[in-house]
Amino acid sequence: MDQTPRLGLPNIAAQQGLRQVTFNEAMAVLERIVQPAVLSRTPTVPPTAPLEGDAHLVPPAAAGAWAGAEGAIAQFRDGAWHFSHPRPGWLVFVRDEEALLVFTETGWQVFFSTGPAGLPSLGINTAPDATNRLALRGPASLFAHDGTDHRLMIDKAGPADTASLVFQSGASGRAEIGLSGSDDLSVKLSADGSAWSEALRLSDEGVMLGAGRLGFPATPAPSADPNVLDAYAEGSFTPSVSFGNASVGVVHGSQNAGRYTRIGRLCFVSGTLHLSQRGTSTGAARLTGLPFAAAPGTIWTTMSVGYSTSFAVVGALQGIIGPNATEIVLYQTNGGASSAVQHSNFTNTTLIYFSLTYELP
């Protein structure tokens, strides 16, 4: 065997003359490949005035004295270039990149870098790829402060690009939050990872844009801050009428219905009180069944009547709701005087269109 199998060092044959030549050649190879450091791996032709001992990695498409030696370690010695062809596992430090390279079946790859470009990719317990250049597999990740603050920054090239966080389930996207295709902050949702809908968008001026629905809990959580909107609700209710706080025999007609919209501490109510039987209870009339109790205090709120028929009153029909109440007390006014509406003012077909805005606790 003329050479060693791993490093390709020349062997001294038995009875060989000029053994020092073979020995010196082996030392030259060791000089080239032990603790190897090369100047660069960029030039495709040899430098015009290399220094003794200068070394380079020969890049693809090399020419001149380097032609045909792609991937080899080239060292200038004794006025000529000498080459060592690497095997998988060899390491070499490239000085102009401040990078440590390892030779693999696919060629030289960056193993570690202290240069400004850093590592091209990094995998921790999983393999990175061309898109996911930093890849990590594990139960958790920690980004800790180094004395004071810690900020995670995700930068994009321009307004039309995307800088976002994507949350996945089984490697399929379900939610995305960030600057998606604009400089507005958006939240997007997906049921299958392919079809996405925008749930919320905030402009870069802090204005909420109508991109969908804004939900509030069914049970409001009141805020002491008067500038905070803490509740919103829409629904229906069934208006009714009582006489002397009783409603024996009262039957509602087909048009009897009510709707409400609650925004914060205000409730907007509209409805139709429609009777088909006024019943037998007597006394002062109250419109009952409001969806929420009024706020405590001393403020009374009036009801607006848009239309009424089959209703026997002298003057105008009015109504007020008092503190903590869920019912409207009905009055009739005439000539500056008011009196409570009674059972006798109703008929079996009374119809009243009403609306009311009142404050909630």
Reported as type and span, the H/E element at residue 25 is: helix 19-33
300 pLDDT band, cuts 50/70/90, is confident
Residue 4 has pLDDT above 80, yes or no: no
Q: How many helices (H) and strands (E) does the chain have?
A: 1, 25
Residue 292 has pLDDT above 90, yes or no: yes
- Write out pLDDT tens, residues 313-349: 777 888 999 899 999 999 988 877 889 999 999 999 9
DSSP string, 108-127: EEEEEE-STT--S-EEESS-
32 pLDDT band, cuts 50/70/90, is low
Counting Cβ atoms within 10 Å, is residue 224 exposed (0-12), middle (13-18) or buried (19+)? exposed
Residue 156 has pLDDT above 90, yes or no: yes
Q: Could you tell me the sign of the dihedral formed by the alpha carbons of 14, 18, 20, 24, in that order?
A: negative
Counting Cβ atoms within 10 Å, is residue 92 exposed (0-12), middle (13-18) or buried (19+)? buried
Residue 72 has pLDDT above 80, yes or no: yes
User: What's the rounded Cα separation, in Å, for the pair 123 and 129?
Assistant: 9
pLDDT at residue 24, rounded to an integer: 64
- Percent over 90 (pLDDT), the chain: 59
The two tokens of residue 241 are: 């009428």
pLDDT at residue 8, rounded to an integer: 59
Counting Cβ atoms within 10 Å, is residue 86 exposed (0-12), middle (13-18) or buried (19+)? buried
41 pLDDT band, cuts 50/70/90, is very high
C-alpha separations of 333 from 291, 315, 341 in Å = 27, 5, 10
Residue 60 has pLDDT above 70, yes or no: yes
The two tokens of residue 84 are: 């060592």
pTM equals 0.53
State the average pLDDT for the chain: 88
208 pLDDT band, cuts 50/70/90, is low
Q: Domain coordinates of the chain in residue numbers?
A: 21-111, 162-209, 232-359
User: What's the rounded Cα separation, in Å, for the pair 260 and 326?
Assistant: 13
Q: Are 166 and 154 in contact (CB under 8 A)?
A: no
- Percent over 70 (pLDDT), the chain: 88
Residue 187 has pLDDT above 70, yes or no: yes
The two tokens of residue 122 are: 């990094």
pLDDT at residue 6, rounded to an integer: 59
Residue 1 has pLDDT above 70, yes or no: no
The two tokens of residue 34 are: 């032990």
Q: Which of 73-77, 113-117, 306-310 has the lowest mean pLDDT?
A: 113-117
Residue 281 CB partners (closer than 8 Å, separation 6+): 242, 243, 244, 246, 247, 248, 249, 250, 343
User: What's the rounded Cα separation, in Å, for the pair 87 and 94?
Assistant: 17
Q: Are 89 and 109 in contact (CB under 8 A)?
A: no
Report which DSSP code applies to 134. E
93 pLDDT band, cuts 50/70/90, is very high
Q: Which of 29-38, 50-59, 64-73 has the lowest mean pLDDT?
A: 29-38
pLDDT at residue 210, rounded to an integer: 58
More confident residue, 209 or 77: 77
Find where tokens 């030289």 sit.
Answer: 108
Average pLDDT over residues 20-32: 66
Q: Are 5 and 13 in contact (CB under 8 A)?
A: no
pLDDT at residue 236, rounded to an integer: 97
358 pLDDT band, cuts 50/70/90, is very high
Q: Could you tell me the sign of the dihedral formed by the alpha carbons of 110, 114, 117, 118, in that order?
A: positive
Average pLDDT over residues 248-252: 96
pLDDT at residue 9, rounded to an integer: 62
User: What's the rounded Cα separation, in Å, for the pair 348 and 279?
Assistant: 8
Report which DSSP code applies to 27. H
User: What's the rounded Cα separation, in Å, for the pair 335 and 342?
Assistant: 19
